[in-house]
Amino acid sequence: MKNKLILSLVVGLVVATLPVPALAWGSATHLYLSEKLGNKDGVTDQQEMYGATLVDVFNLMFGHPYQPYLWNETHYGFMKLVEAAEPEEMALAYGFASHNEAWGADHTAHIDALTIEGEGGYVIIKSQELAPILAPEIRASLEQLVFIVYEMVPPYPADIELLIQQAVQEMSFMLADNGVESAVDYLVGQNEDKKVGDRMFGSAQDRDSFVPLLLVEAYAEGLASQPGMTYETASNLIMATEAAFQTQMMSYGLALAQEDPGDIKEAMAEQGAVLAIMIIEAEYGITVPLALYPLIFQEVKNLMIFTLNQAIEVVEDDYVEELEATQKYIKKQLNAHKIKTYRK
């Protein structure tokens, strides 16, 4: 049980730098890119922006066995939603398609960067630069967590020491990946669009009632074909997950909408710490002891803030060029695939 709890804390820290696990560009960056792509006529524009974030809706299914399947469906099977959309739903579908990893915004984030040298997408290349910077701080955080839970200090027993060494090695890149995404979200809100938080909150709050039904139409049948699922169960799961996602986007939007940069970082870190502990409990079926929660929460939050600050330094000189190139690239790809904000 001791090793299991320590490992659980490690896994939680891996995702701790993001209010929402994004796995490519962050939600604010997707919204910013989509806001520049299509129609600018109020409600339609809001649909498009929410659609651009919606591809990550199933990231919130912590510990669910079909979360990887659904992630692949939205990131690579995105045309199922586009083809299911009615004419009045095409603005949302347009934003949804802009996000995909096959040839959309996530492609430049994780597969093929457009403006910097290296193998992989912009987020991958920058994560490789950031990871070694984070490793010592990750080690220090894990040692602090071990002390909090068990009052153990180095030198550790061989099994604990090996676990921590492996965790530092594995966490460094994954934490860097999340940190880069968060840093670009933060910088977009500070420099490119100071209203991005307001736009995120508004597009989520006012999202149309057809959204969960469209997700069901696009993805419930495929999910229902998986072992242990029925169409009704799949539909209910999809709608409940979208409702939770809507709430999370509103919360993230409020965090980014604050005026003071320090308050924004604090809010991002606090939201991430809550989600990290939720992931710990969901993935491993344990409950973090109530008496230890404040100390664990603070340690996770501290690591997130450190990661965010270091990531900002790594990306601040060239993220704008990559986003500008990505926006042009997405527009070209959407046109090539004949995806528009309307359907005649």
Summarize pLDDT for 77-123 with one digit per residue, the tens: 999 999 999 999 999 999 999 999 999 999 999 999 999 999 999 99
Give mean pLDDT, residues 146-151: 80
CA 191, distance to chain mean position in Å, is 21
pLDDT in tens, 205-235: 999 999 999 999 999 999 999 999 999 999 9
Place of tokens 């736009």: 199
- 310 burial class (0-12, 13-18, 19+ CB within 10 angstroms)? middle
Task: State the helix-helix crossing angle for 158-187 and 27-35, rounded to 10 degrees.
Answer: 20
- Global pTM value: 0.90
Position 30 scores a pLDDT of 96
State the residue for tokens 């960067």.
113
Q: What whole-number percentage of the chain has pLDDT above 90?
A: 65
Compute the distance between CA of residue 64 and CA of residue 237 in angstroms, rounded to an integer.
11
Residue 89 CB partners (closer than 8 Å, separation 6+): 47, 208, 210, 214
pLDDT tens digits for range 234-291: 999 999 999 999 999 999 999 999 999 999 999 998 887 787 777 767 666 667 778 8
Q: Which of 283, 44, 268, 289 is nearest to 148 (CA)?
A: 289
Q: Does residue 50 register a pLDDT over 70?
A: yes
User: Tokens 């739903």, residue?
Assistant: 89
Neighbour count for residue 312 (Cβ, 10 Å): 19
Q: Which residue has the higher pLDDT, 330 or 150?
A: 330
In angstroms, the CA 126 to CA 291 distance is 38
Q: For 188-205, how does the pLDDT look when each residue is reduced to its tens digit (9 = 90+)?
A: 999 999 999 999 999 999
Using alpha carbons only, how large is the chain's radius of gyration in Å? 20
Give residue 47's identity as a one-letter amino acid code.
Q
**Which residue has tokens 């604010």?**
28
Collapsing DSSP to helix, strand or coil, 344 comes out as coil
Burial of 113 per CB tally in 10 Å (0-12, 13-18, 19+): buried
Cis peptide before 136 (omega within 30 of 0): no
Q: What is the DSSP string of 171-218?
A: HHHHHHHHHHHHHHHHHIIIII-TTHHHHHHHHHHT--THHHHHHHHH
State which H helix or E strand residue 68 sits in: helix 67-76
Torsion of CA 144, 145, 149, 152, to 10 degrees: -40
Alpha-carbon span 44 to 33, nearest angstrom: 15
